Chains A and B, each alone.
Chain A
Amino acid sequence: MLTCPLVRAGFLTLVFAMALLAVPTPARAADDAVARALLAQLREADFSDKARLVEQLAALEHPRIATILKALADSRLYYQEAENRAVIGLDDAPTIAIEDAVGGAALGQAGKRDLEKITANNRLRNLIENRLASLGLASADPGQRRAAVQAFLKNPDPAGTERLRARLAVEPDAGIKALLALALALADLASPEAAARAQAATALGGRLQPELRGPLSRAAAEDPDPAVREAARTALTRTEFRLQLLGWAETLFFGLSLGSVLILAAIGLAVTFGVMGVINMAHGELMMLGAYTTWLTQQWLPVNWSLPVAVPLAFLVAALAGIAIERGVIRFLYGRPLETLLATFGVSLILQQAVRSIFSPLNRSVATPDWMSGTIALGPLEVTLNRLIIIGFCIAVFALLWLALQRTRLGLEVRAVTQNRAMAQAMGVRSARVDALTFGLGSGIAGVAGVALSQLTNVGPNLGQSYIVDSFMVVVFGGVGNLWGTLVAGLSLGVANKLLEPWSGAVLAKILVLVFLVLFIQKRPRGLFPQRGRAAEA
């Protein structure tokens, strides 16, 4: 089982924290007196008496018991001779800050010499660990009960089995009930009866808790009874199968996550390149501006508030930069795509060097807010919260952009100018203004993508470069001038990349996808969803 002291200490801390979370009920004076008496005996007792006393303490329904036992296991429980009371040391200085063990009141400082440490050995610590777990099992808080059962799963204790069985009968929470059954099955795996062992093995099949697999595979290999071995083997096969399914789901999630990053990076390009037909090689650098805007907002605002502010700010910064590029450079080069490509490449070099000169060539670390860090369970799948949020963010940006192009006046004018510039002008659309605004829109979305990227990768002057080839590939693969194509292309490329990765390694997967794209474009130069109709021929 689990013998590593570090892990056990961590587990103890967990149970302890759970116990502290419970609302303390006002302790009755009688209980306090009993506890004080037991603690006084504890000071004098030898280790076997101590074990008995710990059992008695654990049986008390006193809110401080978890704290006291934890302190005993950590060697922080002292006896203060002068005052005749047990105290808990809060730190480890020569003069220790102490609190009353039973009452919990802070008692200021005491010299180490005036305190007598109540010692514990490892057997006692094991006992305390188990008793703390059982304490949790009877708690009113479902979280504590769950933690207690999970602790049992990690470190099964034959003595605790009866307590688990008793709890199973009265447990109201269905999830904890299932967990209890699992823990009991695990305990039954060590039962002397072969039939009970076989039944337990079958019950454990298909369960994904990692701590179940060790005992199960041991049963499959070493159990004296062939029927039990067979049952355990079948159970293991079921577990493996479910693990494999889970692995696929995980790959799919990572693929979607990569895909959403690709979409975010490419969707602004889908507007400038796809709708306007302008090659903007500085697109990656506009994302970089967005990422640096995020970093700047974090210098002024607390991290938790910075992202909601950074999104509109990054949009604004990148959009203004984009409009400046359009008015200053691209405007003179409409209809000459190759020259546009070169000029915007020059702009990208200037932006990179500007960032390098202003912010230093080193990467800046952008902090992740609390509400984006950690993991969340989607069924049996544990996913990191920031990736999940970025997938959602990508969907939101896509939906907003689609609405902007389909439902607003600007969107209508953009589509009109794209389809027939001369006719749109004749109808009174100021096409130059539409060009600038469309370019600003695409650039602004690049800035917003930069905010998302700042949560996933390093923010440095080269941030944009590493995405530019990928994002062009996504737009071209999806079909120029087609937002839905960009969505499908980004997702499928992301998933394909992640599917290939375990088989070929990350770099080779990327190369294979690139080669596939190069071949694909040669087969279908207009992408997955080519634009049809007159606009396509222009």
Chain B
Amino acid sequence: MRVPSWLRSDRAGLALLAVLAALALVVPALNLLVAADHPLHLSAYTVTLLGKYLCYALLAVSVDLVWGYMGILSLGHAAFFALGGYCFGMYLMRQIGARGVYGDPVLPDFMVFLNWTELPWYWLGFDQFWFAALMVLAAPGLLAFVFGWFAFRSRVSGVYLSIITQALTYALMLAFFRNEMGFGGNNGLTDFKDALGFPLHADSTRIVLFLLSALALAGGYLACRWLVSTRLGRVLVAIRDAEPRARFLGYRVERVKTLVFAFSAMLAGLAGALYVPQVGIINPGEFAPLNSIEAVIWVAVGGRGTLVGAVVGAVLVNYAKTWLTGALPEVWLFALGGLFVAVTLLLPRGLVGLLRRRGATA
């Protein structure tokens, strides 16, 4: 198989793919083949945790695509992540069937609890996997397309765009908190049983979900890497660095922006859809503005405009979060806040940028 030239020159990307491939081999082996009392055994909890990191990494890649290459700082990407999660959560809810607490064959428990008698129209079709999988990409993509179309056509950019994306996710959070929306309100969607007939709590299903997350991350990375190496990618960078000039040169800036923004939202939605079956719940808290900003800081820590950096940043920051919230919960927000300040002041190009500069001077 011939490696295309845009990938051959991307040494960091190849390294990332290699690491992912190694993980995909080692993690299932350590979980399934090593005895449970052996020190090298990976518990199902750890596998799920790693799977979660990979989903976050995919979200970070999608943020990096629009921020690092197109200069759009989206403070609402977690909204697309959560939308994808809700779409897949709706499928999982329908799979519960009559096994819920109230035993209704069609209605999810929370609807029975609210005395609803009929499934709302927007829940129709979600009992089919193919439809849910389609909506996981289509719903965030469509929202991003419509939002981006309006925003970019009227040339809202910079800080203004950041703030209205934040308002978007904030409004969605408020909306999903309402019971009347039909998405479970405060509690969200949970109590999932199985997907495509595989029980979600089984170790083997968790391994498969982990492998799917790794595959999605690799695929997402490759797609973004390919995209930025094309002519379109050059236009993106041109828009980031000098938007008016790109426009005067004849490029339809708003179309490019809208398309890439929608594509990035679809990636985020895919990440969310893989995230939900692993953590077993999706609720409106995922729309919180803080989540979106955390995703941005992963990218900033790793180094924006590098794609690999986004993955590195997401995994490192989330590992630190898991460790700190467990060991010293008081310190976590101090650390996160300090990270924001330190990265913007001292590490404007992130960890990957730091390593590259070292490499260049050595």
- Listed in ascending order, the chain A residues whose CB lies under 8 Å from chain B are 279, 329, 332-333, 337-343, 345-354, 356-357, 469, 472-473, 476, 507-508, 510-511, 514-515, 517-519, 521-523, 525
Contact = CB atoms under 8 A, between A and B. Distances in A.
Most buried by A among B156, B171, B289: B171
A521 B156 CA distance: 8
A522 B171 contact: no
Contact of A349 (B155, B166, B167, B336): B336
Contact of B156 (A346, A508, A514, A525): A525
10 contacts: A342-B340, A343-B340, A346-B337, A350-B334, A350-B341, A353-B334, A356-B333, A511-B171, A518-B171, A522-B151
A131 B167 CA distance: 63
B348 interface: yes
Contacts of A349: 333-334, 336-337, 340
Given A353-B330, A525-B156, A333 B170 contact: no
A538 to B, nearest CB: 13
Contact of A469 (B151, B166, B332, B337): B166
B12 interface: no
B330 A357 contact: yes
Interface in B177-213: 177-178
A472 B345 contact: no
Given A346-B337, A522-B156, A525-B154, 6 more contacts: A337-B158, A341-B162, A345-B293, A350-B338, A510-B171, A522-B153
A517 B164 CA distance: 8
Contact of A350 (B171, B293, B337): B337
Given A342-B297, A472-B163, A522 B150 contact: yes
Interface of B is mostly: helix
Nearest to A525: B156
Interface of B: 73, 150-151, 153-156, 158-160, 162-164, 166-168, 170-171, 174-175, 177-178, 289, 293, 296-297, 300, 330, 332-334, 336-341, 343-345, 348
B178 A507 contact: yes
Most buried by A among B153, B162, B300: B162
Contact of B164 (A337, A346, A350, A518): A518
Contacts of B339: 346
A498 B150 CA distance: 28
Contacts of A338: 73, 158-159, 162
Contacts of A522: 150-151, 153-154, 156, 164
Contact of B340 (A346, A354, A357, A515): A346
Contacts of A341: 73, 159, 162
A518 B154 contact: no
A469 B170 contact: yes
Most buried by A among B159, B334, B348: B159
A519 B153 CA distance: 12
Contacts of A354: 334
Contacts of B156: 521-522, 525
A343 B73 CA distance: 14
Contacts of A342: 293, 296-297, 300, 340, 343-344
Nearest to A472: B163
Nearest to B177: A507
A519 B171 contact: no
Contacts of B162: 338, 341
Interchain residue pairs A-B with the least CB separation, the first 8: A346-B340, A349-B337, A350-B337, A353-B333, A514-B171, A346-B337, A343-B344, A346-B341
